[in-house]
């Protein structure tokens, strides 16, 4: 048993411990990995938002460059320069463009729009907005002087009804520095110009939505009928150009968090199931190894048991034969007694050899059985008649209770072998109460014979093992009674070969009862 424990320990050390350590390590590092993935993913989303912002910037920059080249030779003519006219007519988001007289006084020199009413509506507003933004304009001038063209939002409240924003930049022409402004409707700008770009980026993977900070539902989304608010977006960033607007991005189907959680739980499930499989595999390997070790142990015990079993009768035979040979036996009566002993021991020897031969033949499937219809009671009575002397000689009292005429399908020799083995064991493992009860019966499709004794009994743990080949109960006084450990294994093999079975019910110290079930004769 120590060797199986050692094997168990080695298996646990080699397979289970590393697997368990690995699982614990993996599970603890999973959240770290997921965080890293989340960070990388967020960076990717940020890059997408950055490119959208860059794109909107590029549009306005291209407008400003176009206007700047037009404004080079701005004249006092009242007509709208063609490039500005084209911008106005092509872009509904552009309400009007204007240019200041000089940078210092900032009166509005011209307002270009598609209708005069717009000019009337915004003239004063533009003037006051420019007056309020002198600091910003000076900054833009500095930028321009260092060679940069920067376009920024001019803070002002433009309309109560409409959402408007003014973008300004500074240009330089032959009359000096001037401020150019573009009064825009950012919502329309986003929908008309940024929207197609968002659709292109989103494809089937993302949902990109734009929010006005004053309204909850998105003003534009790549997913029609999207009602997810900015707060629920995976990631949001403000537009560089329109501070009141934010753009949000999230994955299509499920949010990033859901994806990550799903991945984490999948990984954990995979790891745990791998562990379970490994534990089951190690358990199965251990069980098989344990069985093999047990068998090897039993075989070793068997050799020593059989040698012992054979040596005793051999010693007796040779001793009494020698005595007889030397003519040292005084009386005829003694001679008869010695011959009797020699013959009894010879029988014992041949019964051991027969048992071993029988076992090896059945084990190698060399023994062919010939099941025939037998009356169970008749066969049992025959065996008991032969055994009667043996039983009573050993001080046993036995009863046989036959319940009707039970016809079973069995091999005659095998049936007798089974009965003799059961009776032998009942004799061998009985102590004070020398009583054996034999009973037949039938239930379902089986006829059975029970051999019951009041001997030492078998512990429930041993009951599972006694039918294994070579197995002998090794504790207590039982070890002292001689045997090979083959009897019950042979019984089991014989019963199975006849399509029958053998069962045991026993209590330590109270006795045992073995029942052999045979298939009933099939009436055709
Ligand atoms: P053997 O009797 O040669 O040891 P068996 O295969 O016949 O081998 O029996 C296996 C073990 O089962 C025995 O060692 C014994 O401990 C136990 N056993 C069998 N029959 C009985 C019985 N009637 N009462 C108690 N123990 C029994």
> From the alpha carbon of 490, which atom of ligand 1 is closest?
6
Residue whose CB lies within 8 A of the most ligand 1 atoms, among 425, 470, 486, for a mutation test? 425
* Tokens matching residue 135: 């600091």
Residues pairing with 450 in the sheet: 439, 515
Q: pLDDT per residue over 168-203, tens digit each?
A: 998 887 777 888 889 989 889 988 998 888 888 888
Q: SS3 for 146?
A: coil
Q: 80 CB contacts (<8 Å, ≥6 apart)?
A: 88, 112
**Biggest distance spanned by C-alpha atoms of the chain:** 164
Is 466's C-beta closer than 6 angstroms to any atom of ligand 1? yes
- Say what the pLDDT of residue 480 is: 54
- Give the number of other CB atoms < 10 A from CB of residue 407: 19
Is 81's C-beta closer than 6 angstroms to any atom of ligand 1? no
H-state helical runs in 394-439: 412-428
For the entire predicted model, the pTM comes to: 0.53
Closest CA to 355 of 465, 471, 513, 491: 491
**456 neighbors 481 (Cβ within 8 angstroms):** no
Rama region for 150: left / alpha / beta (φ>0; ψ in -120 to 50; rest): beta
Closest CA to 168 of 178, 157, 153: 153
Residue 223: DSSP 8-state: S
Q: pLDDT per residue over 447-472, tens digit each?
A: 999 999 999 999 999 999 999 888 88
- Say what the pLDDT of residue 478 is: 45
Cα of 445 from ligand 1 centre, angstroms: 28
* Tokens matching residue 197: 């770009």
Is 489's C-beta closer than 6 angstroms to any atom of ligand 1? yes
For 455, phi then psi, to 5°, come to: -90, -145
Is 140's C-beta closer than 6 angstroms to any atom of ligand 1? no
- Say what the pLDDT of residue 251 is: 75
- Say what the pLDDT of residue 513 is: 97
Is 456's C-beta closer than 6 angstroms to any atom of ligand 1? yes
Query: Would strands 446-453 and 511-519 be described as parallel, antiparallel, or unpaired?
Result: antiparallel
Is 250's C-beta closer than 6 angstroms to any atom of ligand 1? no
Is 453's C-beta closer than 6 angstroms to any atom of ligand 1? yes
Cα of 425 from ligand 1 centre, angstroms: 6
Is 485's C-beta closer than 6 angstroms to any atom of ligand 1? yes
- Say what the pLDDT of residue 311 is: 86
Measuring from atom 7 of ligand 1, which residue has the nearest CA?
487
* Tokens matching residue 351: 């019964």
* Tokens matching residue 507: 């209590």
* Tokens matching residue 368: 């062919």
Cα of 404 from ligand 1 centre, angstroms: 30
Cα of 489 from ligand 1 centre, angstroms: 10
Residue whose CB lies within 8 A of the most ligand 1 atoms, among 431, 487, 506, for a mutation test? 487
Long-range contacts of 140-147 (CB under 8 A, 24+ apart): 140/168, 140/169, 140/170, 140/179, 141/103, 141/170, 141/177, 143/170, 144/170, 144/171, 144/172, 144/177
H-state helical runs in 190-255: 195-202
- Say what the pLDDT of residue 225 is: 66
- Say what the pLDDT of residue 470 is: 84
Q: pLDDT per residue over 78-110, tens digit each?
A: 677 788 888 888 888 998 888 877 666 556 667
* Tokens matching residue 101: 């007289």
Regions in the chain scoring below 50 on pLDDT: 478-479
How many angstroms separate the CA atoms of 215 and 445, rounded? 83
Is 473's C-beta closer than 6 angstroms to any atom of ligand 1? yes
- Say what the pLDDT of residue 479 is: 45
Is 513's C-beta closer than 6 angstroms to any atom of ligand 1? no
How many angstroms separate the CA atoms of 101 and 38, rounded? 52
How many angstroms separate the CA atoms of 456 and 508, rounded? 6
**Sign, Cα dihedral of 430, 436, 441, 446:** positive
């Amino acid at each position: 048993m120590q060797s199986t424990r050692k094997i168990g320990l080695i298996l646990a050390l080699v397979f289970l411990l590393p697997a368990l350590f690995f699982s614990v390590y993996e599970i603890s590092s999973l959240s770290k990995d997921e965080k890293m993935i989340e960070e990388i993913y967020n960076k990717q989303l940020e890059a997408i938002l950055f490119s959208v912002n860059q794109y909107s910037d590029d549009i306005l920059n291209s407008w400003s460059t176009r206007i700047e080249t037009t404004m080079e030779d701005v004249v006092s003519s009242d007509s709208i320069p063609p490039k500005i006219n084209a911008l106005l007519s092509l872009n509904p988001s552009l309400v009007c463009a204007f240019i200041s007289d000089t940078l210092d006084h900032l009166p509005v020199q011209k307002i270009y729009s598609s209708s005069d009413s717009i000019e009337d509506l915004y003239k004063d507003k533009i003037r006051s907005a420019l007056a309020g933004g002198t600091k910003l304009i000076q900054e833009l001038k500095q930028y321009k002087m260092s060679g940069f063209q920067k376009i920024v939002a001019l803070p002002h409240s433009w309309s109560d009804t409409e959402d408007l924003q003014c973008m300004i930049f500074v240009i330089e022409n032959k009359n000096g520095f001037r401020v150019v402004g573009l009064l825009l409707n950012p919502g329309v700008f986003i929908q008309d110009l940024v929207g197609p770009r968002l659709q292109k980026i989103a494809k089937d993977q993302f949902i990109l939505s734009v929010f006005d900070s004053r309204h909850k539902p998105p003003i534009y989304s790549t997913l029609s009928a999207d009602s997810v608010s900015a707060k629920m977006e995976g990631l949001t960033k403000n537009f560089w150009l329109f501070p009141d607007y934010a753009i949000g991005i999230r994955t299509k189907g499920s949010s990033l968090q859901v994806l990550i959680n799903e991945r984490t739980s999948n990984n954990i499930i995979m790891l745990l199931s791998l562990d379970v499989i490994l534990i089951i595999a190690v358990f199965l390997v251990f069980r098989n190894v344990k069985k093999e070790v047990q068998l090897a142990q039993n075989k070793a015990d068997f050799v020593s048991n059989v040698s012992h079993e054979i040596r005793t009768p051999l010693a007796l035979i040779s001793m009494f034969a020698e005595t007889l040979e030397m003519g040292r036996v005084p009386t005829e009566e003694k001679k008869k007694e010695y011959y009797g002993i020699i013959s009894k021991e010879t029988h014992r020897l041949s019964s051991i050899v027969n048992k071993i031969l029988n076992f090896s033949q059945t084990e190698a499937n060399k023994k062919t059985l010939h099941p025939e219809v037998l009356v169970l009671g008749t066969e049992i009575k025959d065996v008991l008649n032969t055994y009667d002397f043996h039983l009573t000689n050993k001080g046993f009292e036995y009863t046989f209770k036959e319940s009707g005429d039970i016809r079973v399908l069995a091999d005659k020799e095998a049936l007798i072998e089974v009965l003799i083995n059961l009776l032998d064991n009942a004799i061998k493992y009985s102590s004070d109460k020398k009583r054996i009860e034999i009973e037949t019966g039938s239930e379902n499709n089986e006829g059975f014979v029970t051999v019951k004794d009041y001997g030492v009994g078998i512990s429930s743990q041993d009951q599972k093992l006694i039918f294994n080949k070579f197995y002998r109960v090794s504790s207590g006084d039982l070890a002292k009674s001689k045997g090979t450990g083959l009897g019950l294994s042979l019984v089991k093999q014989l019963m199975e070969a006849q399509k029958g079975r053998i069962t045991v019910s026993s209590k330590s110290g109270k006795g045992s009862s073995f029942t052999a079930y045979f298939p009933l004769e099939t009436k055709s």
